[in-house]
């Protein structure tokens, strides 16, 4: 498929010629063109169903699609079909602030010896090909989250192979979508004219204690068990038996303390190490501490840019351990210290993105007597591209490590890997020997932790007739329970074998339901690219960003291992998890926001934004909206009843910030840009007004009429006062004294998030907060002033703090000042582009019918996350897999015009694109299914088919695309007509089931609407 970036740039070039005069109205220092250079092909590409994107060649390098369960760690299906990242051991790698992460082509790490090979019998010999780009010329990746498929072909090779990988993902079934398990299905097809004899071989090294193996003492055990046609490798590790008579510790042998003027007999290459050891912190560096004496290795020489190595003279290993102080970057193999024996790296360690040096050590008992060298490496120039090292010595008694038994380590646990159908041990042994492969195939292998050993499973032999195929199943399960808060999965399973048993017992259901959701979601009239983009961010739940604790609480960082505490203001943007797995979102409300023991709720109604005591104005108001959303996506009112007193208190806290109840919050407002707004503005203000409306609705449900009235009155005042004081003519501005508050303000600027609360209000059916025409005009200004088809020119004038879009790419700036001087000290992150804000704004535009603009913004994101640039499944902000991106689901709701109130049994649809032929999946509190709308001449047919669970229905709202009023509306479920009343309210067709309708899995409700003169009437069966 042609990359649309080119179409856009061509269109833009033409438009620039035509639109010279428009830009003269805006201030100097604003370089976003009002005319976006739309071309016909560009607009068409936004709506065309298109083809499913399939990636090949270099595009495969960046792809890493999460394929583990929600909150179970992070494991990627890479573009070539290998498994990468392997962060299932309760520790994750943080990229820090995100600076330098976006614009570097990153490839997922593959730290583990794992693979799948195809055996083909030719000339009475077995020929082995490994699934990957080395043995297959034509490799193609197709990701339909949650399922990834990789195909392999090789000219002249008679077999075609397809690998399908996923972890069960079933909306409304959080537990089965949070299994520490990955399923791999390998289908081998005989594409030749001859009979082919084939087998599958797969191998996996023992991963238990993957990270601590170099420091700790103990043993690993790999067992192979065969039960029926299932073969399983079971991996574990255990501490050595206690030493009866420990040998006395010998004195330490110092290898280097870096106290000299130069490096003495150590040899350096490159620039990073300079002429000699550093004396502490270097210019421009955060304080370095923890080293001994005055000198240390510190490669932040002229910053992170320089690279180099420093290598020690040869020495003989004479103690059980080598210990050292280490700090600096966490780049595996790039900012590290290594132990070399005969030129090979046998041990390695890197920093943890912290300047402070900490003790670490390697267990080298098995290497005593060997000649070795230490090598310190700086092969990284981006963020944290340096290493700090000091005081390297040999020792018998380390200052660190072996203080706890293995069984308590973060990466201790169990893991199983199964193959179905599996061959016997004897057969496996014989064939592996013939292939000269060293893998363990015995029923039990025990070896020291410091060794790496790999076990293999061989499939039964398969004879494939021409055109026939066979599927093999590989199943990976794990159980690493030592997370500080425990894992939800560990409350259900004792070890990896129990996870495996659960998966195998429920195999058909787990696979069928996952595929059913995938098929339903993708069987839509919406464009493939858009479906891909919207659903890709759901994978964030299955990364190091998200955790599901043993006590049932869903908890999250903002990005992987970055910014803790399910931050209220970042998660303000996230919708996908709450619509697909509402129980997870409800747990955040009940166990965090409204919990004063373990969460952030305080008696004055303050909801600490990271479960703490800190106030964030946007997060506080968003908490009310989330509470209302969680109520709407419930089956009944019990959630609201349980939490109402605290929801009300939290809203009263906001009303207290307002003070005079004029509907404007004027005081200091900390917010998601990590700054404080001083004075009224509509970013916080629209969230506040939406929260008041939500409060009014919840109060009505709870029968609290006085409070409902209070909310309504403050809301009405706020709406009016906003228009009087904050309407700038084209968009909403901030009232602020810039003399008094020169830093971090919006002032006359155009903030992309200025209508954040209005987008929320549409999602919750709360209506308009401000006059509709002003809302649309403000959105149009955001489009005109903040969305650049090429961020280059504006960023050339105003460089971003961190880069999330590069010149040539489209993006929506956080804030611009088209009508006044650019506030260089204004809103932090103003010149940056965040996908979560882009989705928030795009979703809102689509609600308002601005679909060309909304879809263009989303398409801009999609192009930035094309695999030729970045991993499509990893939207970066402050950290990988940043949670704000879960805002994408708001776009999906807007495209359907989806309205839902579970406890009331109300559901509504108003498709915003192709309303004459529309089809999409929808989810509710208890069921999910397909909605379709089709018109032919004067007939409109709507269908709701339930594919999972059930749906309680009292009111159904539709739009009539064949003109109103309709003459006749008929309803049926299957063959049976249903009785209902219908009415036309505000151009919407309301269908009321007086007794309610319970739609069950497999049932379809069909609505036929015929056009003619309108009369209010009951439908006769």
CB of 390 to Ca ion, least distance (A): 4
| 387 touches 329 (CB < 8 A) | yes
For residue 548, give the H/E element and its range: strand 546-548
Select 459 or 671, whichever has its Cβ closest to Ca ion. 671
Is the torsion defined by CA of 483, 486, 487, 492 positive or negative?
A: positive
Of 533, 536, 537, 571, residue with least CA distance to 554: 571
Alpha-carbon distance of 300 to 335, in angstroms, equals: 11
Is the torsion defined by CA of 109, 115, 116, 122 positive or negative?
A: positive
CB of 93 to Ca ion, least distance (A): 18
Count of CB atoms situated within 10 Å of the CB of 798: 17
Of 712, 683, 716, 719, residue with least CA distance to 695: 712
Q: Looking at residue 790, what DSSP letter applies?
A: S
- Only one of the segments 257-265, 570-578, 696-704, 884-892 lies at the binding site for Ca ion (rule: CB under 5 A); that segment is 257-265
Residues 761-800 that bind Ca ion (CB under 5 A): none
Select 272 or 1009, whichever has its Cβ closest to Ca ion. 272
Select 97 or 309, whichever has its Cβ closest to Ca ion. 309
Of 88, 182, 112, residue with least CA distance to 479: 88
Select 304 or 875, whichever has its Cβ closest to Ca ion. 304
Residues 6+ positions from 703 with CB-CB distance below 8 Å: none
CB of 1009 to Ca ion, least distance (A): 47
Select 254 or 316, whichever has its Cβ closest to Ca ion. 254
CB of 21 to Ca ion, least distance (A): 41
CB of 143 to Ca ion, least distance (A): 34
Q: Cα-atom radius of gyration of the chain, to the nearest Å?
A: 30
CB of 374 to Ca ion, least distance (A): 14
Which of 251, 260, 293, 434 forms a contact with Ca ion (CB under 5 A)?
293
Residues 364-423 that bind Ca ion (CB under 5 A): 378, 385-386, 390
| 784 touches 34 (CB < 8 A) | yes
Alpha-carbon distance of 549 to 545, in angstroms, equals: 13
Select 507 or 727, whichever has its Cβ closest to Ca ion. 727
- Only one of the segments 252-260, 513-521, 554-562, 887-895 lies at the binding site for Ca ion (rule: CB under 5 A); that segment is 252-260
CB of 62 to Ca ion, least distance (A): 22
Select 183 or 714, whichever has its Cβ closest to Ca ion. 714
Residues 646-705 that bind Ca ion (CB under 5 A): 658-660, 662, 664
Residue count at the site for Ca ion (CB under 5 A)?
17
Residues 294-323 that bind Ca ion (CB under 5 A): 295-296, 304
Select 143 or 295, whichever has its Cβ closest to Ca ion. 295
CB of 997 to Ca ion, least distance (A): 45
CB of 627 to Ca ion, least distance (A): 23
* Strand segments (E) across 19-131: 55-56, 64-66, 74-78, 83-87, 114-122, 125-130
**Contacts within 8 Å (CB) and 24+ apart, 504-509:** 504/230, 504/418, 504/475, 506/176
Q: Looking at residue 539, what DSSP letter applies?
A: G
Task: Kindly list the distances between the CA atom of residue 663 and the CA atoms of 616, 667, 712, in Å, as whole numbers in the listed order.
Answer: 18, 12, 10
Count of CB atoms situated within 10 Å of the CB of 742: 13
Select 382 or 905, whichever has its Cβ closest to Ca ion. 382
CB of 336 to Ca ion, least distance (A): 12
Alpha-carbon distance of 567 to 1007, in angstroms, equals: 43
* Strand segments (E) across 133-172: 138-144, 147-153, 159-166
| Contact map string, positions 23 to 62, toward Ca ion, x by CB under 5 A | ----------------------------------------
Does residue 184 touch Ca ion according to CB under 5 A? no
Alpha-carbon distance of 749 to 731, in angstroms, equals: 9
Backbone angles phi, psi at 884, to 5 degrees: -55, -30
CB of 293 to Ca ion, least distance (A): 4
Which of 87, 144, 217, 257 forms a contact with Ca ion (CB under 5 A)?
257
Select 184 or 272, whichever has its Cβ closest to Ca ion. 272
As given in the structure block, the two tokens for residue 683 are 């970013």
For residue 438, give the H/E element and its range: none
Select 336 or 946, whichever has its Cβ closest to Ca ion. 336
Count of CB atoms situated within 10 Å of the CB of 305: 14
Residues 263-292 that bind Ca ion (CB under 5 A): 272, 292
CB of 315 to Ca ion, least distance (A): 18
Alpha-carbon distance of 351 to 331, in angstroms, equals: 7
CB of 666 to Ca ion, least distance (A): 5
3-state secondary structure at position 451:
coil
Select 434 or 659, whichever has its Cβ closest to Ca ion. 659
| Contact map string, positions 457 to 496, toward Ca ion, x by CB under 5 A | ----------------------------------------
Alpha-carbon distance of 888 to 854, in angstroms, equals: 12
Backbone angles phi, psi at 244, to 5 degrees: -65, -50
CB of 668 to Ca ion, least distance (A): 13
Distance of CA 188 to the CA centre of its chain: 32
Select 277 or 544, whichever has its Cβ closest to Ca ion. 277
Q: Looking at residue 592, what DSSP letter applies?
A: I
Residues in the chain: 1021
Select 204 or 714, whichever has its Cβ closest to Ca ion. 714
Residues 6+ positions from 326 with CB-CB distance below 8 Å: 337, 349, 350, 351, 357, 358, 360, 387, 388, 389
Select 503 or 690, whichever has its Cβ closest to Ca ion. 690
Of 696, 631, 596, residue with least CA distance to 607: 596
For residue 783, give the H/E element and its range: helix 772-786
Count of CB atoms situated within 10 Å of the CB of 583: 18
Select 100 or 132, whichever has its Cβ closest to Ca ion. 100
Alpha-carbon distance of 429 to 447, in angstroms, equals: 19
CB of 664 to Ca ion, least distance (A): 4
CB of 296 to Ca ion, least distance (A): 5
Select 7 or 325, whichever has its Cβ closest to Ca ion. 325
CB of 294 to Ca ion, least distance (A): 7
Judged by the rule CB under 5 A, the positions of this chain that interact with Ca ion are 257-258, 272, 292-293, 295-296, 304, 378, 385-386, 390, 658-660, 662, 664
């Amino acid at each position: 498929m042609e990359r649309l970036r080119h179409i856009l740039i061509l269109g833009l070039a033409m438009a620039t010629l035509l639109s010279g005069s428009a830009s003269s109205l805006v201030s100097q220092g604003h370089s976003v063109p009002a005319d976006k250079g739309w071309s016909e092909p560009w607009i068409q590409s936004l709506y065309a169903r298109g083809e499913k994107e399939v990636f090949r060649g270099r595009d495969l390098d960046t792809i890493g699609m999460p394929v583990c369960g929600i909150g179970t760690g992070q494991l990627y299906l890479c573009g070539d079909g290998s498994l990468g990242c392997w962060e299932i051991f309760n520790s994750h790698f943080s990229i820090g602030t995100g600076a330098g992460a976006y614009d570097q082509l990153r490839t997922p790490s593959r730290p583990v010896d794992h693979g799948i090979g195809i055996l083909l019998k030719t000339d009475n010999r077995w020929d082995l090909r490994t699934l990957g780009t080395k043995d297959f010329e034509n490799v193609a990746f197709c990701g339909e989250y949650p399922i990834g498929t990789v195909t392999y072909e090789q000219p002249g090779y008679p077999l075609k192979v397809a690998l399908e990988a996923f972890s069960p993902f079933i909306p409304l079934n959080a537990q089965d979508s949070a299994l520490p398990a990955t399923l791999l299905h390998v289908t081998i097809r005989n594409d030749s004219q001859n009979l082919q004899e084939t087998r599958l071989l797969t191998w996996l090294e023992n991963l238990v204690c993957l990270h601590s193996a170099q420091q700790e003492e103990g043993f690993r055990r790999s067992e192979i068990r065969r039960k029926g046609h299932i073969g399983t490798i079971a991996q574990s590790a255990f501490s050595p038996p206690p030493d009866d008579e420990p040998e006395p510790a010998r004195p330490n042998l110092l290898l280097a303390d870096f106290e000299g003027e130069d490096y003495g007999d150590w040899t350096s290459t490159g620039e990073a190490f300079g002429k000699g050891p550093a004396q502490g912190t270097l210019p421009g560096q955060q304080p370095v501490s923890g080293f001994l004496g005055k000198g240390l290795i510190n490669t932040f020489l002229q910053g992170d840019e320089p690279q180099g190595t420093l290598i020690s003279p040869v020495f003989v290993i004479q103690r059980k351990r080598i210990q050292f102080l280490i700090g600096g970057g966490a780049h595996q193999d790039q900012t590290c210290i290594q132990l070399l024996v005969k030129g090979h790296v046998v041990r390695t360690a890197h920093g943890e993105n912290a300047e402070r040096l900490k003790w670490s050590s390697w267990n080298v008992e098995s290497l005593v007597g060997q000649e070795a060298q230490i090598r310190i490496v700086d092969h990284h120039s981006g963020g944290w591209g340096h290493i700090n090292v000091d005081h390297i010595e040999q020792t018998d008694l380390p200052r660190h490590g072996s203080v706890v038994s293995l069984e308590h380590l973060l990466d201790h646990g169990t893991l199983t890997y199964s193959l179905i159908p599996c061959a016997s041990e004897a057969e496996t042994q014989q064939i592996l020997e013939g292939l000269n492969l060293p893998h363990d195939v015995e029923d039990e292998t025990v070896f020291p932790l410091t060794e790496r050993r790999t076990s293999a499973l061989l499939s039964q032999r398969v004879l494939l007739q021409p055109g026939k195929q066979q599927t093999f199943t590989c199943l990976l399960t794990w159980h690493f329970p030592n997370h500080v808060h425990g894992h939800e999965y560990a409350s259900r399973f004792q070890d990896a074998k129990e996870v495996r048993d659960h998966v195998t017992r429920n195999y058909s259901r787990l696979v069928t339901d996952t595929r059913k959701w995938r098929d339903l979601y993708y069987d839509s009239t919406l464009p493939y690219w858009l479906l891909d983009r919207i659903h890709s961010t759901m994978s964030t739940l299955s990364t190091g960003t998200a955790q599901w604790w043993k006590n049932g609480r869903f908890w999250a960082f903002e990005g992987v291992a970055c910014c803790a505490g399910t931050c209220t203001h970042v998660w303000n943007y996230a919708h996908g998890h709450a619509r697909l797995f509402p129980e997870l979102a409800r747990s955040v409300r009940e166990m965090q926001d409204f919990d004063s023991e373990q969460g952030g709720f305080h008696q004055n109604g303050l909801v600490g934004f990271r479960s703490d005591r800190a106030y964030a104005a946007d997060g506080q108001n968003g908490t009310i909206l989330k509470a209302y959303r969680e109520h709407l996506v419930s089956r009944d009112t019990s959630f609201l009843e349980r939490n109402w007193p605290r929801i009300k208190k939290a809203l009263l806290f906001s009303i207290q910030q307002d003070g005079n109840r004029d509907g404007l919050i004027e005081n200091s407002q900390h917010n998601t840009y990590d700054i404080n707004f001083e004075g009224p503005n509509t970013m916080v203000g629209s969230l506040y007004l939406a929260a008041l409306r939500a409060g009014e609705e919840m109060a009505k449900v709870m029968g609290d009429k006085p409070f409902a009235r209070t909310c309504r009155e403050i809301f009405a005042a706020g709406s009016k006062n906003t228009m009087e004081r904050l309407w700038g003519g084209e968009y909403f501005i901030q009232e602020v004294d810039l003399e008094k508050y020169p830093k971090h303000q919006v002032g006359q600027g155009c903030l992309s998030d200025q209508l954040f609360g209005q987008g929320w209000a549409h999602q919750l059916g709360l209506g308009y907060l401000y006059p509709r025409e002003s809302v649309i005009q403000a959105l149009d200004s955001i489009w005109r002033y903040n969305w650049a088809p090429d961020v280059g020119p504006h960023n050339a004038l105003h460089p971003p703090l961190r880069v999330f879009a590069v010149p040539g790419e489209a993006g929506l700036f956080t804030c611009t000042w088209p009508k006044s001087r650019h506030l260089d000290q204004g809103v932090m992150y103003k010149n940056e582009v965040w996908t979560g804000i882009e989705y928030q704004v795009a979703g809102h535009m689509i609600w308002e019918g601005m679909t060309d603009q909304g879809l263009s913004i989303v398409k801009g994101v999609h192009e930035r996350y094309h695999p030729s640039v970045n991993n499509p499944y990893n939207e970066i902000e402050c950290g990988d897999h940043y949670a704000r991106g879960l805002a994408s689901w708001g776009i999906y709701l807007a495209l359907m015009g989806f309205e839902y109130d579970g406890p009331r049994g109300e559901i509504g649809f108003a498709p915003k694109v192709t309303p004459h032929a529309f089809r999409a999946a929808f989810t509710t509190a208890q069921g999910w299914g397909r909605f379709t709308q089709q018109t032919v001449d004067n007939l409109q047919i709507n269908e709701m088919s339930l594919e999972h669970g059930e749906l309680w229905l009292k009111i159904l709202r539709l739009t009539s695309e064949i003109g109103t009023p309709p003459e006749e509306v008929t309803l049926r479920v299957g063959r049976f007509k249903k009785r209902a009343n219908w009415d036309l309210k505000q151009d919407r067709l309301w269908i009321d089931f007086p007794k309610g309708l319970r739609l069950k899995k497999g049932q379809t409700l069909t609505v036929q609407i015929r056009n003619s003169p309108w009369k209010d009437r009951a439908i006769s069966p």
